[in-house]
Amino acid sequence: MRLHRTMATMTCIGALWVAFSPYVVEAQTTDPHVADLVSAGKLRVGLFLPQYIKGPDGSKTTVWIETARAYAARVGIPLVIVEHATAPEAIACLKAGSCDQLFLPLDARAAEIGDFSNPVFQFDYTLNGACGLIDSEGRRC
Assess contact for 74 and 13: CB atoms under 8 A. Answer: no
Instruction: For the domain made up of 2-102, give the CATH fold.
Output: D-Maltodextrin-Binding Protein; domain 2 (3.40.190)
User: CA 141 to CA 134: how far, in whole Å?
Assistant: 7
pLDDT digits (tens, 9 = 90+) for 78-107: 999 999 999 889 989 988 989 999 988 777
Tell me the pLDDT of the chain (141 aa) as tens digits: 454 454 444 444 444 444 445 544 443 556 777 888 888 889 999 998 888 888 788 777 888 899 999 999 988 999 999 999 998 899 899 889 899 999 887 777 777 777 777 777 777 666 666 666 666 677 665
Domain ranges of the chain: 2-102
Residues 6+ apart with CB under 8 A from 37: 43, 75, 77, 100
